[in-house]
Amino acid sequence: MLLLGYLWIHGVTTMVAAKLGGVDPATVKKWFDRFREAVELDIFECGEDYRIGGTDIIVEIDESKFGKRKYNRGHRVEGVWVVGGRERTPEKRMFAVKVHDRTATTLLDVIVRHVNPGSIIITDCWKGYRTDGLLDEGMIHCTVNHSETFVDKETGAHTNSIEGTWSAMKWKIPVRKRTEEDIEGHLFEYMWKANNKEDLWSRLLVAMKSFGEYKSREFT
């Protein structure tokens, strides 16, 4: 289990981990799924500690669709919408959650749950962000119009960091896992690894200990 955990935090594939560990790929898959469950629980138990941003910290917010073109051609993309944010800090902490729509109500709820008051929020000009709700929550809201430029000439606002994050996430998450049923665990995995990158191993041990205690309570 320890070997598989070490391989998992370093992004080793199931087949390679099976060869290195001398076990069946099905066993590796079972443990990799268990690690994802453990870090998901770790995120929820940390609660507000996983909220990003804060007073005068810039947080870029954006949405992206995770899926594939139907029949690998055309412009129609089937998949799951994901909303995410990334700090402009040395730690570059981030979040990413799946959503069922991109309405103003949904986007505001996601931002309020994952970003601390006092943050400087930067988004594109999608209509879902046109709300006074961010100001009501004590956040400053700046926008960049991507139909005209990628960097606002007056304010310097841009969302390049979070857009780069989408590229990295889509490289990590297999296309077959970009479904309503499967994507959430992979989003939690990416977020957890990104926000604990300086201490992954010891953090995984803590998460697995908490997960084991949680499972024990289920059967008592």
Taking only the tens of pLDDT, the chain with its 220 residues reads 999 999 999 999 999 999 999 999 999 999 999 999 999 999 988 876 789 999 999 999 999 999 865 555 555 567 899 999 999 999 999 999 999 999 999 999 999 999 999 999 999 989 999 888 899 999 999 988 866 655 655 556 778 899 999 999 999 998 989 999 999 999 999 999 999 999 999 999 999 999 988 888 766 5
69: CB partners within 8 A, 6+ apart: 75, 76, 77
65 contacts 81 by C-beta, under 8 angstroms: yes
The pLDDT, as a whole number, for residue 67 is: 84
The pLDDT, as a whole number, for residue 68 is: 66
> Count of residues for the chain?
220
Helix (H) or strand (E) holding 202: helix 200-218
Residue type, 73: R
Which tokens go with 103?
């309405």
Read off φ and ψ for residue 58, nearest 5 degrees. -80, 130
Residue type, 27: T
What is the C-alpha to C-alpha distance for residues 126 and 128, in angstroms, rounded to an integer?
5
pTM: predicted TM-score of the whole model, two decimal places: 0.86
Which tokens go with 155?
């304010």
The pLDDT, as a whole number, for residue 151 is: 66
Q: Residue 22 carries which DSSP code?
A: T
The pLDDT, as a whole number, for residue 215 is: 81
207 contacts 214 by C-beta, under 8 angstroms: no
* CA distances (Å), origin 158, targets 4, 26, 69, 88, 142: 39, 43, 27, 11, 9
151 SS3 class? coil
- Domains and their CATH numbers in the chain: 2-49+190-218 (no CATH), 52-181 (3.30.420.10)
The Cβ of residue 165 has, within 10 Å, a number of other Cβ atoms equal to: 22
User: Apex CA 176: angle with CA 174 and CA 177, to 5°?
Assistant: 70
Place of tokens 């979070």: 162
The pLDDT, as a whole number, for residue 160 is: 86
Place of tokens 């879902």: 128
